[in-house]
Amino acid sequence: MSIQQNITKLLYMDLYHNPAYKWLIAIALAIVVWFAVTFIKKRLAVIIAGFFTSKIYNINFLIQSFIRETKSFFKFIFSLYAGSLLLELPANTSGFVDKVVLLVVLLQLGFWLQVIISFLIHKGFEDEEHDKKAISSTVSVMVFASKLVLWTIVLLLCLDNLGVNITALIGGLGIGGIAIALAVQNILGDLFASLTIILDKPFVVGDFIIVNEYLGTIENIGLKTTRIRSLGGEQLIFPNAELLQSKIRNYKRMYERRVVMNIGVVYETPYEKLKRIPSMIEQIIKEDKRVRFDRAHFSKFMDYSLDFEIVYWVLDPDYNIYMDIQQNINLEVYKTFSRENIQFAYPTQKVFLDK
């Protein structure tokens, strides 16, 4: 028998329901597909990097991450599956191959989806004005929790594909999740409160706030607590959940400061001078360009004084500026009343004897 006949016999020899030459072609195709995918992956990364400009850096980063997270085991199984399409395999073997391919596809989808999730979370916090340390901690927890949920779903899908009854497993996970949530509900409450603070921004680092009887400047927003530096110098620490349940007064976001000023004069003040007092005070306030005058009225009769109510707006929210303006106004009012011989009222009691 000649060599050519031997080679022909070998090529047509039956190997697991397929001639040998089909196996060789399938292996060759798998190798070609492997190198083609590897080449395309490398070239695509270079092309993408050069195509997108810095203005759309986020798209570049996302696509590069997709390419980087395309795993070698996915390329390997994909190449083998492409070669296996040329073969006629038994039903049980074909079913096994389909299950393996589906498992690999699910795993690869998991890696791609976690890239998208991480990208979206980081993108959502990209322009936040909060403390970068607080944002970094919150983002890390959110990414971890999202990946945990994602891979739990992928694992359940893989087990279902393998024929495992996952109904009982899902029920067990639900019960276990409830038990864990009850055990750490306070921690989870503070964690979600931290997320709410980051997203809703009732305050940011550097804001001066008042919470109940406590006041101070926000120093740090953490995962569980928020730290405030009080005017006395000590640090106040609030659980995030408790802080959000309180009424918060944020003075940093005050654009103008409304000031209500009350002045009382004695009952012996002549009528003509009482009529002039509102215009006197209005003139004093309007001399300061940092202030917008609102009104001045003789408001009420008190036990020992005739009261005037004055309202004006300080155009700068800074507290020190407000106190400087208030001091100047008080001094000018005092000087004007002294010049006009108008006496300020103070708590007194007079006894009249009827003869």
Residue 348 lies in a domain: no
Same domain, 243 and 147: no
| pLDDT exceeds cutoff 70 at 143 | yes
56 inside domain: yes
In this prediction, residue 201 carries a pLDDT of 79
Same structural domain, 78 and 42: yes
**Count of CA atoms in the C-beta half-sphere (13 A) of 56:** 10
Examine the pLDDT at 55 and tell me if it is beyond 60.
no
Give a yes or no: residue 189 inside a domain. no
| Pair (244, 274) in one structural domain | no
Decide if pLDDT at 238 tops 80. Answer: yes
Confidence of residue 324 (pLDDT cuts 50, 70, 90): very high
Residue 100 is assigned to a structural domain of this protein: yes
Q: Give the pLDDT confidence score for residue 284 in this predicted structure.
A: 94
pLDDT digits (tens, 9 = 90+) for 272-317: 999 999 999 999 999 999 999 999 999 999 988 999 999 999 998 8
Q: What is the average per-residue pLDDT within 344-355?
A: 78
Q: Does this model's pTM top 0.75?
A: no
Q: Which residue has the higher pLDDT, 163 or 205?
A: 205
Decide: 103 and 161 in contact? Cβ < 8 Å: yes
Q: Looking at the structure, tell me whether residues 166 and 24 fall in a common domain.
A: yes
Residue type (1 letter), 232: G
**The predicted structure's pLDDT at residue 88:** 72
Nearest to 30 by CA among 83, 67, 94: 83
In this structure, the chain runs to a length of 355
Contacts with 115 (C-beta within 8 Å, 6 or more apart), sequence order = 62, 65, 66, 69
Q: How many domains does the chain have?
A: 3
Across residues 106-131, what is the average pLDDT? 75
Q: What is the DSSP string of 196-229?
A: HHHHH-S--TT-EEEETTEEEEEEEE-SSEEEEE
What is the rounded CA–CA span in Å between residue 218 and residue 235? 10
Task: Give the mean pLDDT of the chain.
Answer: 79
Q: Which domain holds residue 315?
A: 257-339
Task: Tell whether 89 is covered by a domain.
Answer: yes
The sign of the dihedral angle between the CA atoms of 15, 21, 23, 24 is positive
Mean pLDDT, rounded, for 132-151: 72
In whole angstroms, what is the distance from residue 314 CA to residue 312 CA? 7
Residues 6 or more apart in contact with residue 178 via CB below 8 angstroms: none
Joined together, the tokens standing for residue 24 give 């060789």
